[in-house]
Structure 1
Amino acid sequence: MSAAVYLVAARRTPVAPVKGAFKALSVSDLAVPVIQAVLSDVGFNPADIDQVMLGNALYGGGNPARLIALAAGLPEFVPALTLDTQCCSGLDALRLGAQAIASGQADVVLAGGVESTSRRAIRHHRPLSPDSEPLGYERPAFTPWPDRDPDMADSAARLAHEQGITLLQQNAWAMDSHAKALAAQSRLAGECVELAGLAVDAATRPLTQRLASRTPKIAHWQSGEINVAGTALQADAAAVCLLVSQSMLTRLPAGTRAMRWVADISGGGPADSPPWAIVPVVQRLFERNGLSADHFHRIELMEAYAVQAIVNAHQLGLPLNKVNQGGGALARGHPIGASGAILAVRAYHEMALAPKGSLALAAIAAAGGLASSVVLEA
């Protein structure tokens, strides 16, 4: 039988659109103050940490988690691991951290994700011959099949075509996401570590149907269309959670809120249709744990695209009054390696006033047709 795992602190930076408030900040600049805030929240010494696990998709090599851990003042004997499962990276880092504690290999793990899209590496393929030029590229291949490796926006447009989701419907979802985020700004600021003069997510704004409909269209697939309003902006951010074992709970300050790690899962769907991946993966999570959508008090569902969120919510039967009640990624932005961890941070803080025993769900999909999900209990 695995040991119990608890999430006892969760913080993040605000999310800043690419080339915005965080344009000059490295991954260390983003993540270090968040780690320090998390440790301060529970009064833990850096030497108490057994492991650091951070998701990152765009750094360009090396092990940024190790660099960040050292810059944050953690002792050199604390190991650090960087994980890249693209959009799932931050949530998968949390999953690995929880598994390390559940298996008895650790008692305290700092886990989350960080992405400096603004400072990401400029990527090139090495030339095949000395007289050839390096070939630049924006993203790696996500499948081995060139004819089944669409750009994410094209995949979303295909989903819109297949499911008959119009731009008006996508705009309405985006408008609702921004409206909820605006209404929740005071509690969103409470989970954020102010950085570079930014105290809350920079992209959130009043969004009307008129404004949304005027944003450029960026992809189409037969009748399916995707526009800027229905697409989460590229962004910079960091998010970190503190996971502990049952034995460490006694060392926490009085009043520290602990959420029990109930279950987690990762899985895949059609490799060329990432927006679909959440559905079968979350369905398996439900089946394995005797759960249904109605069991959850709060649901943090990734909004990489409005059409993706609409279809995922419908297919899973998610109660919309429980979904993204502080707004979603459409109102924040999408810092790829950090987005999954931001969902966990949001779930932790959204559940602050939830009745004891209430459940929260976080779910995200990634390029290549992957998805990850987590269940937490208040």
Structure 2
Amino acid sequence: MRDHAVVVAARRTPIGTRSRALAAHGVEQLAAPVLRAAVHEASAALGTEPVIADVVLGNCLGPGGNPARVAALAAGLGVNVPAETVDRQCGSGLAAVIDAARAIEAGDERAFLAGGVESASTAPRRFRDGVPYDRAPFTPDGWPDPDMPRAADALAAADGIGRSRQDAHAARSHRRAHAAQGAGRFDAELVPVGGVTADDSLRASAPSFGRLPPLFPGGTLTAGTSTRISDGAAALLLVPQCARGRAPGLAIRSHAVVGCDPALPGIGAAPAVDAALVSASLGLEDLTAIEIVEAFAAQSLAVLDRVGLAEDDPRVCADGGALALGHPWGASGAVAMVRLFSRLIRGAAPAGSLGVAAASIGGGMGIAAVVEVIR
């Protein structure tokens, strides 16, 4: 029987809106502190410093040159610790965690550091044939390749998700995140960077959402119902279940990566959640905590509708999601896993409690992982 990978430490930086609080920090300056913090937290939980087999970090628009390796060296992990960088766009951070879990499931008995990092503020400008571009194509010529905001707006129209429903969903995310921040529920997971100690985009309420103009003529998407492009990093330390000792953690029960229509990239999380739950022989009713990356209110609602969850289900992003906190692309999937760790392990959920983290991915994909509390 295969050994499950267990997350025994989980930390993240504050999330900073692009060009604001964390704008002066490159990817290695964001990732190195959370890597160190995750090792320190794991060492305390395990009673010994773990031997790191590899560092796996998601990143989308970084400087190239294997940012994970640069960050590992900057973190002081030593020249003998290798590293790799994963690009699965908005699912990169969660993909990195799953890749680490797969290595442990395959028999590696060492620890892995996995997560993601994005510095949108310092991402290099890219050129093709002398012309600058914001992102590379997600599909080949002749295939649909919508920009994410236009794809979300089109999805809202296709699914009949109106403006008021989107405004309410975004406002709910902000209220929940602001309440969590005020109650200190983010404190234990945060690693300060350059004097920045808190997420910089939370609002106690969103009275102006309804007055914001649509981003596109005739559309319903607004700046208030779109997540902010952000800077941030997250790291988790995984060990084989047999090596965790008495340390509580999240055992990764199952995971799934799926493809979907690239014309509707926002729905990818839905079939990924379904596939991961089927793999674990579970249903939605079995879950205690659910974290789905909220790129846009319309996209988030479309996923919830397809999965069969109510938009105000208290299990879903209970402390707010990316609509409130921001969306550091390569890190967001790992942030979702950090949030599950805080909600279930730091929140003292009983052994056997279950959660799922998921994200939709540009180009038409989805990713999800099911976790179980072990104590």
- Pairwise TM-score range, normalised by the shorter structure: over 0.9
TM-score, structure 2 as length reference? 0.93
For the 8 Å contact 2:254–2:277, the answer to whether it is kept is no
Is residue 208 of structure 2 the alignment partner of residue 211 of structure 1? yes
TM-score, structure 1 as length reference? 0.93
Is residue 322 of structure 2 the alignment partner of residue 329 of structure 1? yes
Query: What fraction of aligned residue pairs are identical, expressed as a percent?
Result: 38
Is residue 98 of structure 2 the alignment partner of residue 95 of structure 1? yes
Is residue 254 of structure 2 the alignment partner of residue 263 of structure 1? yes
Q: Distance in 1 between matches of 2:73 and 2:242?
A: 26
Letter of the aligned partner of 1:143 in structure 2? T
Shift of 1:348: 0.6
For the 8 Å contact 1:359–1:376, the answer to whether it is kept is yes
Q: Distance in 2 between matches of 1:207 and 1:157?
A: 23
The one-character-per-residue Cα deviations of 1:102-154 (angstroms, maximum 9, x if unpaired) are 101352000000000000011001x3xxxxxx111011101113551111011
Q: Distance in 2 between matches of 1:3 and 1:287?
A: 19
Q: Distance in 1 between matches of 2:85 and 2:136?
A: 18
Is residue 369 of structure 2 the alignment partner of residue 371 of structure 1? no
Is residue 341 of structure 2 the alignment partner of residue 344 of structure 1? no
Alignment-derived partner of residue 7 in structure 1: 7
Letter of the aligned partner of 1:170 in structure 2? Q
Pick which of 288-297 and 135-144 moved more: 288-297
SS in 2 for 1:140: coil
Alignment-derived partner of residue 34 in structure 2: 34
Q: Which runs of 5+ in 1 are unaligned?
A: 128-133
What are the equivalent positions in structure 2 for 1:238-249 lying under 5 Å apart? 238-249=233-244
Pick which of 189-198 and 91-100 moved more: 189-198
For the 8 Å contact 2:50–2:110, the answer to whether it is kept is no
Shift of 1:196: 2.4
For the 8 Å contact 2:293–2:360, the answer to whether it is kept is yes
Is residue 82 of structure 2 the alignment partner of residue 79 of structure 1? yes
SS in 1 for 2:216: strand
For the 8 Å contact 2:269–2:292, the answer to whether it is kept is no
SS in 2 for 1:118: coil
For the 8 Å contact 2:42–2:50, the answer to whether it is kept is no
Alignment-derived partner of residue 114 in structure 1: 117
What are the equivalent positions in structure 2 for 1:33-182 lying under 5 Å apart? 33-43=33-43, 48-125=51-128, 127=129, 134-146=130-142, 148-182=144-178
Shift of 1:261: 1.1
Q: Distance in 2 between matches of 1:71 and 1:63?
A: 13
Shift of 1:92: 0.1
Pick which of 5-14 and 349-358 moved more: 349-358
Q: Distance in 1 between matches of 2:320 and 2:74?
A: 32
Shift of 1:47: 7.1
Alignment-derived partner of residue 228 in structure 2: 233
Shift of 1:332: 0.6
Pick which of 50-59 and 258-267 moved more: 258-267
Q: Which runs of 5+ in 2 are unaligned?
A: none
Alignment-derived partner of residue 130 in structure 1: none
The one-character-per-residue Cα deviations of 1:75-100 (angstroms, maximum 9, x if unpaired) are 21111000001000000000000000
Q: Distance in 2 between matches of 1:284 and 1:344?
A: 18
Two-structure CA RMSD over aligned residues (Å)? 1.6
Count of residues paired in the alignment: 364
Q: Distance in 1 between matches of 2:307 and 2:166?
A: 18
SS in 2 for 1:237: strand
Q: 1:314 aligns with which of 285, 298, 305?
A: 305
